């Protein structure tokens, strides 16, 4: 596989009651936050001023969706109140302003992902649609019986279902890389499963449950050595880690704006340009065409041949403002802040009886989320009671049912962090967990 071109020329718990798969020990403290002014950052997020059931909102569900800073909200409003027009079509002032703002975000995405070619940036609705685009437009026309798709046991359903369906309709086979008891991908099993029949390797850069950061560059090189295409779900990594796609050399990478301070309804598929050129369009209609006759059609250049119809213009412009905000914060500083907070959360969770926390033992190989199981209280009950104290966490299977089965549970509870979270949020979580256990008559 050819390496991606840059526009101008970082990769990768605590168990208090047993060695469940994915459970881990805390090994070392992460560095203290470097340069994040938490009080100022919180002022940028209007929603953090509200009360929930009379309590301060403690939002610990950013792995599901992040809150939005005022500058993102302002960018969306500014578009609608000053430059509302369709993009690419109109030859008037509003249309030209809208197009310039919309297309400018393509450059920002390319810069965020390591300076990759803007022509590889396809706007979609979310990471799910981006992964489906690869499964439908690249995989289905090219797979046949005897071919293999290699996925992992820790995948979100968004990076499972499209490949399961592609295998079903083409006759290809699914092979699964297992995880170790510590919550890491089993690299020995990966290399054993990888062979000349492997046509696609699809895996997450970072697990939405375990927080595990996978060795993307190393796995990609091994897959390319056997001629496989590499598709990476970056929905959980792009908001938290420096991502250099030129260094990682993946063939396709998916992300969602709403998980990185942007609005909902906007995603990105970045793929190497030669791969996009090979692919037929996923959707047909306006804008993705070059010329239409009653008996034939020719398609637009990439990336526009994959962006049929009127896009989410305001959402993309809002995403551009979110990228500006993240770039100003600094992804490296944000990552260090989250690592410190994750270590602190795991230390505090050790104080509570009956909890198992899942994830890798080395903080450098994970972070940003703490997923845990209370042997005495169902995760849904935990979440419900915590909400009465203003603490918002996620409870359920986290769209990762095969991983839940591997961990031996039906559901878990998950707290996830972002730039607006601090130790006071972790303390609020711990206090609420104690009260929850007391409510159900258990020691804490």
CA–CA distances in Å: residue 436 to residues 13, 38, 330, 394, 444: 22, 28, 37, 15, 9
Q: Are 205 and 213 in contact (CB under 8 A)?
A: yes
Q: Alpha carbon of 320 to those of 80, 260, 323, 397: distances in Å?
A: 15, 11, 5, 31
Residue given tokens 């409870």 in the structure block = 395
Four-CA torsion 120, 219, 202, 113, nearest 10 degrees: -30
Distance between CA atoms of residues 86 and 285, nearest Å: 15
Dist CA 270 CA 161 (whole Å): 20
Number of C-beta neighbours around residue 6 at 10 A: 15
399 is catalytic: yes
Neighbours of 375 (CB within 10 A): 13
Show the tokens assigned to 352: 């509570």
Rounded to whole angstroms, what are the CA distances from 383 to 23, 80, 291, 388, 389? 21, 37, 54, 9, 10
State the helix-helix crossing angle for 313-329 and 93-112, rounded to 10 degrees.
Answer: 40
* 125 within 8 A of 263, measured Cβ to Cβ: no
Tell me if 414 sits within 8 A of 394, measured CB to CB: yes
CA–CA distances in Å: residue 414 to residues 59, 81, 109, 342: 12, 39, 29, 12
Q: How far apart are CA 341 and CA 31, in angstroms?
A: 9
- Say how far apart CA 235 and CA 369 lie, in whole Å: 14
Which position among 246, 399, 419, 436 bears the catalytic label?
Answer: 399
Contact 435, 390 (CB under 8 A): no
Q: Give whole-number Cα distances, 109 to 87, 156, 422, in Å.
A: 18, 23, 28
The residues assigned a catalytic role are 399
């Amino acid at each position: 596989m050819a390496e991606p071109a840059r526009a101008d020329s970082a990769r990768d718990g605590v168990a208090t009651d047993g060695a469940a798969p994915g459970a881990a020990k805390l090994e070392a403290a992460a560095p203290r936050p470097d340069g994040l002014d938490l009080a100022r950052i919180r002022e940028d997020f209007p929603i953090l001023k509200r009360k929930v059931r009379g309590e301060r909102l403690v939002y610990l569900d950013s792995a599901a969706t992040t809150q939005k800073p005022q500058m993102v909200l302002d960018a969306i409003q500014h578009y609608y109140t000053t430059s509302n027009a369709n993009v690419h079509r109109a030859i008037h002032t509003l249309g030209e302003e809208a197009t310039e703002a919309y297309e400018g975000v393509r450059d920002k995405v390319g810069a965020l992902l390591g300076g990759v070619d803007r022509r590889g940036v396809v706007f979609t609705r979310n990471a799910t649609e981006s992964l489906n685009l690869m499964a439908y437009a690249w995989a289905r026309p090219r797979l046949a019986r005897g071919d293999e798709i290699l996925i992992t046991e820790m995948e979100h359903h968004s990076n499972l279902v499209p490949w399961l369906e592609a295998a079903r309709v083409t006759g290809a086979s699914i092979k699964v890389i297992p995880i170790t008891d510590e919550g890491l991908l089993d690299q020995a099993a990966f290399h054993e499963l990888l062979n000349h029949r492997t046509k696609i390797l699809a895996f997450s850069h970072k697990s939405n449950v375990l927080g595990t950061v996978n060795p993307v560059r190393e796995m990609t090189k091994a897959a390319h050595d056997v001629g496989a295409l590499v598709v990476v779900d970056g929905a959980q990594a792009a908001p938290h880690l420096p991502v250099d796609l030129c260094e990682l050399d993946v063939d396709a990478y998916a992300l969602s704006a709403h998980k990185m301070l942007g609005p909902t309804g906007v995603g990105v598929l970045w793929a190497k340009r030669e791969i996009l050129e090979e692919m037929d369009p996923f959707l047909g209609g306006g804008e993705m065409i070059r010329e239409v006759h009653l008996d034939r059609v020719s398609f637009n250049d990439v990336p526009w041949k994959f962006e049929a119809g009127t896009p989410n213009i305001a959402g993309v412009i809002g995403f551009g403002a979110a990228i500006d905000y993240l770039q100003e914060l600094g992804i490296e500083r944000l990552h260090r802040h989250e690592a410190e907070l994750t270590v602190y959360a795991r230390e505090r969770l050790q104080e509570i009886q009956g909890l198992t926390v899942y994830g890798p033992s080395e903080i450098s190989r994970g972070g940003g989320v703490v997923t845990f199981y209370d042997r005495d209280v169902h995760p849904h009950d935990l979440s419900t009671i915590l909400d009465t104290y203003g603490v918002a966490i996620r409870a359920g299977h986290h769209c990762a049912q095969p991983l839940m089965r591997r961990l031996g549970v039906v559901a878990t509870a998950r707290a996830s962090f972002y730039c607006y979270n601090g130790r006071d949020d972790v303390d609020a979580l711990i206090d609420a967990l104690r009260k929850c256990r007391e409510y159900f008559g258990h020691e804490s």
